[in-house]
Amino acid sequence: MTLTQRMARGAAVGAIGGFIVAGLIAVSDSVSSMVGILWLPVVLALAGAGVVLSGEGA
């Protein structure tokens, strides 16, 4: 698997996890969930890609 494929997979996993967490936030706090749903998957997707990069030593 190439580095690009690994980064894409890490970003996808982070985004999916972000949507799950944002959904849990939505249950507990409907106001902040509107913001959480927007930024949380993005942040976790970037973090997932970043973890892959750090794992590659890049």
Q: Over the stretch 6-50, which tens digit does the pLDDT of each residue have?
A: 888 888 887 887 777 777 766 666 666 566 667 777 777 888 777
Task: Provide the residue ranges of all domains of the chain, joining segments of one domain with +.
Answer: 3-56
Residue 34 confidence (pLDDT): 64
Helix ranges (H only) for the chain are 3-28, 30-56
Whether residue 58 has pLDDT greater than 50: no
pTM over 0.75: no
CA distance linking residue 37 with residue 8, whole number of Å: 20
CA distance linking residue 22 with residue 20, whole number of Å: 5
Q: HSE (CB half, 13 Å, CA atoms) of 15?
A: 11
Q: Which residue has the tokens 């970037």?
A: 46
